[in-house]
A and B are shown apart, each in its own frame.
Chain A
């Protein structure tokens, strides 16, 4: 009996792995779409124009969330330089570039059942999401950003105060996999 339980736990860990990732710099960028291109040059970013698409330039990722809204992720060491570039561009290109690094906690969900576990809280069709794309959506009642990094590897950015709720639902899904449900 004890052995059986041990095997089940191992199996669920292989089918879906959930980890909290190391924090990095996160910015909320708002700028009118017609000024996005010139601003992206000033900040040294690549800003995608289609909602849900992601552009990477070096270690910096930019996701288009809305017609005038982007999420920018960067390594900690780039933070000050990006803020400085935004400040320098501000007089000519009105925009908002806010450091919101502490707002979200990032979960990595991977393994063959990662997608199924996400469907327990997300109503949108995750299977049809392209690898490399991302979307702001809702997990249960919490707004999240879901990144599909690979076929079976996702990142989910969860607002800090919603994390215990989201984590409890994912842990429940994981327990159900372990029980073979």
Chain B
């Protein structure tokens, strides 16, 4: 079982307490009705599907109930870091150098 660090509880806890919630840092358009069908489709459905470090949302659903962000390597399934919702994307150079 994966262990995930919750940035709110400040504890590393079993995956069973968490739920995956899709790619992170996707802003809802401020004025949806101004968008073309293609732009709205891209916002709703088109995701980056990266191989390597993936920025994604998780929710500590059986715990503090908060949503937060994580960077997970989709090749190794290792969590590189987690951070609070609303915080900017972390600089990954240190983590990447370590790998």
Contact = CB atoms under 8 A, between A and B. Distances in A.
Interface of A: 51-52, 65-67, 69, 123-124, 135-138, 143
B16 A123 contact: yes
A136 B18 CA distance: 12
A52 B60 CA distance: 14
Q: Name B's interface SS.
A: loop
Interface residues of B, number: 15
Contacts, number: 39
B8 interface: yes
Nearest to B60: A66
Interface of A is mostly: strand
Contacts of A136: 62-65
Contacts of B5: none
A137 B64 CA distance: 9
B17 interface: yes
Contacts of A135: 63
A51 B62 contact: no
A138 B8 contact: no
